[in-house]
Structure 1
Amino acid sequence: MTTATPKAPFVSSAPKLGLVGGFDGIRGIGVCMVLVGHAMFTYVESWVTIVDTFFVLSGFLITTLLLQEHRSTGDIGLRKFYARRAMRLLPSVWLFCAVWIVIGILGTILGIESISLRGILEDAGAAVAYVYALVFPNGLYMISPNVQDDRYMWHLWTLSVEEFFYFIVPATVLICIRRNWIKQLAWILGIGFAAIGIARFFAFTGFWQDDEGMIAGVRLAFLQRPDALMLGCLIAVLNAQVTPERIARLRKPIIWVATISLVVWLVMLNLSSGLVEKLGGPWVPYLPDGPAEFNRPDMLDTMYWFRFGHTIGALAFGFILLGLVHCKDWWLSRFWSLSPFQWLGRMSYTLYVWHALPYLLLIGALGGEEAPLGQQIIRLPILVGAAFLVSLPVYYLVEMRVLRMKLRFSAEKEALDLTTGKMVQVDQGVAAPSSAGAPQGPPQPAPPPAPPVAPPAPQHHD
């Protein structure tokens, strides 16, 4: 009787990722789109495609780095992984929630009706527990507009989606590596991405979506776009099985496909844009306007953008991502790698978390959500300037210090210093500039800022 020989663990064949300047660049461009989108959402609704972009990027980076860590060290250090994530994500969000609570207390003492300490505490609790997308999900205004109206941290739903991803993916990848189930994992991810895209096309927003007693995040689960994270993981798994030699042979086709995908991605960004509609261009509505229209028969009668835009936008960026990774001299790679974009990308997380504070306080004082287009354009630089004014001290005085400490938990000897954008040697918790000078090691990515994905409630932008 013979005993079956266990399969050897999977080992990635892909080139080491290194520093991809275009990744920071798209983060920087993306957070600028967030600032504009939250200031005048009704005119740039389909810019929500950028959140699919960042989810694809996050899924790809995290999965690729886990595969590379296993190849370099023979294992995946889950404790170090979660330590890095905690140090990257928690300080800024906790401080943001604390500031809002102080504002809520002051508002209550001063009797300011528009500031509800109860609503702030509800938001803060959901945010720090990373269940925001479950209790106050994107698209909430369609089923519970009154609940959406009381939100103060509406944008933090994206961080809770990624946190669930961080809990699930590392252990899953480790198991699949050890048992050599990488191909099976790819099939599961691919089927999951396709299934959610098809479900949305047929106007399914989630599970039990007609059950008013069901948790809002379950009813609107597909609008939280877990499929974009699945796609990013899938691309990383497929990329890990391609050798450098084969990539070199495929370089021209990659550039051609990525360029065509860029055009598709740009179209998706603007196909539900109020500005394009005003100019007489093609336009489709983004989502139903409220509970009266939130039913499958009515949604099937209207080709809403959400039915196809998220899926196509995510898929298009997946091909762009491969161009950025493997074709550093591609014109888009060079453009997105410009220093200003990379600087914005490094502080994008801080801007994303903190911009909501001045926006919420200023928009009501400057004409509100329904202000005419001209007034929205005039107040835009005021809002953006206020966002930077609030975010810069947090970035330099809080996040920069924490990011230096984060290097102590690097899984490899060379890591990306997010405070400088350069590779450094990590030796027993002390970081020194990389002797290679050029970016050769895998970066530890900051979570991409995620932009708005739903039209704003009357008092708050999503």
Structure 2
Amino acid sequence: MAQEAGSATAEDSGLDTGRAEPRGSGRPAPPKGRGFPSAVARSGRVGGLDGLRTVAVALVLVYHVAPDVLPGGSVAVDVFFTISGFVITRLLLAEYARTGGVALLPFYRRRWLRLVPALLAVCAVCAILSVTTPLWGFDDSLPAAGLSALFLVNVVRAAEPGPYGDLTGPLAHTWSLGVEEQFYLLWPLALLVLLRHARARTVLLCTAALCALPVLWRCVLWQPDAAHRIYNGTDTRADQLLAGALVAVVLARLRADDPRLAVLRAWAGRLAWPALGLLALAAWRMPVTADAGPWTVAWYTVGFLCVAVLSAVLVAALELRPGGGLSRLLSLTPLTWVGRNLSYGVYLWHYPVVRLLASLGMKDGLLPATAVLTLLMALLSYYVIEAPFLRRARRPAPGAAARQPAV
């Protein structure tokens, strides 16, 4: 749920113009990162995506406090997956276009500094409440803290055939962070191999093919007892992240004057509001974690891909049509600021806060109380933990400039 950003001018971006320089021209040779002429130009922040993050995390909070109001509110996590796949892939492609390679160790360092310190703070608070208070919501939270810190909550939940146990307790929601981190570990490696050994068009086709594999795998795995396995597995949810990656690859491939880009822009504009409406309908009416008969079977097999496609349409529309009505709405300053700076903290803290207030016996006013306390904790997390580590993440690692560890 975190987004990095970078910018460069057309002159210094290292874009491949597709034209060989004449001998003796004195100009530098074209970079190695061929085939993605728009990668650097499309590596900046997208205000609408930050606003979409705010809406998504609000849906997740409501879902965990009042699931009867939004029985399908967890669909917002699916939207987060697609946004994450898009953002990470376009950053990797921009680096490849500039340098002809991808420095994996600095990438992993930035991811660690962005995500782990705040997560460890939440884990520490839950562990301390577990050993110092009688609050039932934090009973035996030490194992949960360890699993969450190692991004293994999704693995534990995937192995539970029946109802979820309380092993992951107040940190059960960090299953989605496990999926994202495991994807971040594997996808840059796979993308780098493709970039090094395949043409740009082949990279695009392979990314599209990879999107289809989790759907087939879910169909093979499906049975009622496999619901947790499918819902929590990185392999079974990868198409939602890869859908965002595919959007990033497609847009990086197309030049600004490519007529196909105009077609994509037009269709993204036409489909954006219907896609948002269908996602809202799923959040309002689809009982994702309940047994809804044929609907559940469809959801756990092809449904995740359908949500990924709808999310990808939104991502493409927000990227390609910044002046459109939806983009302007989601780019309102309060939405973008919260999405950019607080959405990760809100996601981390909201579920422990729900457990805390429920353990204290609060029933009336639980939703507004959770929202207020969660925002306060997210603000504290951002200014005390996340912002300082973000500043470190933006600085090169010691000796990185000398080593130039692009791989």
TM superposition score category, shorter chain reference? 0.7 to 0.9
For the structure 1 residues 150 and 97, does the alpha-carbon distance in structure 2 shift closer, same or farther, using more than 3 Å as the test?
closer
Counterpart residue type for residue 382 of structure 1: A
* AA aligned opposite 1:145: P
Please say if residues 137 and 358 of structure 2, whose CA atoms lie closer than 8 Å, have aligned partners that are also in contact: no
Residue 46 (structure 2) pairs with residue 14 (structure 1):
no
Counterpart of 1:116 in structure 2 is 139
What CA distance in whole angstroms lies between the structure 2 residues aligned with 1:397 and 1:222?
Answer: 31
**Structural mapping, 1:164-243, within 5 Å:** 164-197=182-215, 200=218, 204=222, 209=226, 217=229, 221=233, 225-243=237-255
Shift of 1:381: 0.8
> What's the counterpart of residue 325 of structure 2?
331
Report the TM-score, using the length of structure 1 for normalisation: 0.71
Counterparts in 2 of 1:145 and 1:182: CA distance versus 1, 3 Å: same
Q: State the AA in 2 paired with 1:153.
A: L
Residues 265 and 312, structure 1, Cα contact 8 Å, conserved in 2:
no
Question: d(CA) in 1 for partners of 2:116 and 2:33?
Answer: 34
| CA distance in 1: counterparts of 2:277 and 2:223, whole angstroms | 27
In the other structure, the counterpart of 1:276 is none
Q: Is the Cα–Cα contact under 8 Å of residues 89 and 249 in structure 2 kept in the other structure?
A: yes
5+ long unaligned stretches in structure 1: 1-7, 211-215, 273-284, 290-297, 369-374, 411-426, 429-462
1:391 and 2:378 aligned: yes
Is the 1:12–1:71 contact (alpha carbons within 8 Å) kept by the matching residues of 2?
A: yes
Displacement of 1:217 in angstroms is: 4.5
Tell me what 1:417 maps to. Answer: none
- Counterpart CA distance in 1 for 2:298 and 2:309 is 18
TM-superposed deviation, 1:380:
1.2
Distance between the aligned counterparts of 2:261 and 2:214, measured in 1? Answer: 33
Q: Root-mean-square deviation (CA), in Å?
A: 3.1
- Are 1:254 and 2:262 an aligned pair? no
Mapped contact 2:117–2:386 kept (Cα < 8 A): yes
Structure with the largest fraction of helix: 2
Report deviation, 1:178.
1.5
Deviations 1:117-153 (A, max 9, x none): 3xx121111111111111124x95xx33362476220
Name the counterpart of 1:350: 345
Q: CA separation of 1:301/1:398 partners in 2, compared to 1, >3 Å: closer, same or farther? A: closer
1:365 equivalenced with 2:386 (yes/no): no
Name the aligned partner's letter for residue 261 of structure 1: A
1:46 shift after superposition: 1.3
1:55 aligns with 2:89: no
Letter paired with 2:348: V
Deviation at residue 74 of structure 1 after TM alignment:
2.2
TM-aligned CA distance change 1:186 to 1:200, over 3 Å: same
Instruction: Describe the SS at the equivalent of 1:45.
Output: coil
**Shift of residue 220 of structure 1?**
5.3
- Kindly, what percent of the aligned residue pairs are identical? 27
Q: CA offsets, 1:210-242, max 9 Å, x none?
A: 9xxxxx647953796221012111222222221
Match of 2:308 in 1: 314
Secondary structure in 1 aligned to 2:395? helix
Task: Name the SS of the counterpart of 1:42 in structure 2.
Answer: coil
Pairing partner for 1:286 from 285, 288, 291: 288
The amino acid that maps onto 2:369 is I
Instruction: Work out whether residues 85 and 243 of structure 2, in 8 Å CA contact, stay in contact via their aligned partners in 1.
Output: yes
AA of the residue aligned to 1:121: L
How far 1:50 moved relative to its partner?
1.2
For residues 396-418 of structure 1, what are the alpha-carbon distances to aligned partners after superposition, in whole Å with 9 as ceiling and x for unaligned?
111111111211039xxxxxxxx
Any conservation in 1 of the 2:268–2:317 contact (CA below 8 Å)? yes
AA partner of residue 39 (structure 1): V
Where 1:46 maps in the other structure, the secondary structure is coil
* Alpha carbons of structure 1 residues 238 and 65: separation in structure 2 relative to 1, 3 Å: same
Aligned to 2:335: 341
Secondary structure of the equivalent of 2:170? coil
Verify the 8 A CA contact 1:33 1:47 in the aligned structure 2: yes
Displacement of 1:303 after TM fit? 5.7
1:395 and 1:73 mapped to 2: Cα distance? 32
Contact 1:93 1:128 in 2 (8 A): yes
Structure 2 unaligned spans of 5+: 1-31, 402-407
1:10–1:177 CA contact under 8 A, matched in 2: no
- Select 1:91's aligned residue among 117, 136, 140: 117
Q: Compute the displacement of 1:353 (Å).
A: 0.7
Does the residue aligned with 1:225 lie in a helix, a strand or coil?
A: helix
Q: How many residues align?
A: 363
In 2, Cα distance between equivalents of 1:63 and 1:205:
33
1:81 aligns with 2:107: yes
Query: 8 Å contact 2:85–2:244 — kept in the other structure?
Result: yes
Residue of structure 2 aligned with 1:145, choices 163, 185, 195: 163
Other-structure match for 2:16: none
Counterpart contact for 2:57–2:76, Cα < 8 Å: no
Matches of 2:164 and 2:197 in 1, distance apart?
A: 49
Q: How many Å apart are 1:44 and its aligned residue? A: 0.6
Q: What residue number does 1:416 align with?
A: none
Partner of 2:49: 23
Separation in structure 2 between the aligned mates of residue 34 and residue 105 of structure 1, nearest angstrom: 28
Judged with a 3 Å threshold, the aligned counterparts in structure 2 of structure 1 residues 205 and 154 are, in CA distance, closer, same or farther, namely: farther
